[in-house]
Amino acid sequence: MSQDNPRLINQDQPDVLISQTKKWVDDVIVRLNICPFAKAEVQSQRIHYQVVNKSSFNTYLETLWQQCVKLDQTPAIATTLIIFSDPNMDFDEYLDLVEFSEQKLESEGYEGIYQLASFHPDYVFDSQAGEDAANYTNRSPYPMLHLIREDDISKALASFLRPEMIPERNIEYTRRKGIDHMHGLLNSCYDAKK
């Protein structure tokens, strides 16, 4: 990873990481309608952003548990994005973290209460090539875990026509936009400062 990589440059600046993540949420997730439920949460400012410094998996899992407890105690927060500032967390290592995080939710009794969504700068779906624009539906400025309340998902899906088509629509849309466009959108998030 080169020294000019923004993930490396900004790793010790949590405010910058949050600003860049918010720009990604606004410019990619909301503006492109990747998640049709995100706009309402952004407008009502019900998203909590938590930066975690480079550490061990045990610390990451402890943070995940703490954020679940925070959601339990704070109904005003609809959803939490846990942002990992480790610039060297590659996608394979991240997938291990996702697996351990799912196990942690289950062992702590949070299965069915909170759901995890996963995002990484190098995200690649199992069925896609690495250079497929469709991967940008889950590519983010930094590795992150998204904690979502299951009840909120159920309510949102109940009022959405054909929610099962959301992933297909996203794949079609990102492919139509093309990998250069999607890559440019993601990279522009690093321009955000505090």
100-134 residue pLDDT tens? 999 999 999 999 999 999 999 999 998 767 789 99
47-52 sheet: strands from edge to edge: 47-52, 79-84, 144-149, 114-119
Structural domain containing residue 60: 6-191
Answer yes or no: are the C-beta atoms of 79 and 21 closer than 8 Å: no
**Residue keyed to tokens 């199992």:** 126
Instruction: Using the predicted structure, report yes or no on whether residue 49 has a pLDDT greater than 50.
Output: yes
Q: Which residues, including other chains, have CB under 8 Å from residue 173's CB and lie 6 or more apart?
A: 32, 33
In a domain, 51, yes or no: yes
pLDDT in tens, 154-177: 777 777 667 778 889 999 999 999
For residue 1, being part of any structural domain is answered with: no
* 20 assigned to some structural domain: yes
180 domain residue, yes or no: yes
What whole-number distance in Å separates Cα of residue 26 and Cα of residue 13? 20
The pTM is what? 0.91
Domain assignment present for 10? yes
Looking at the structure of the chain, the number of domains it has is 1
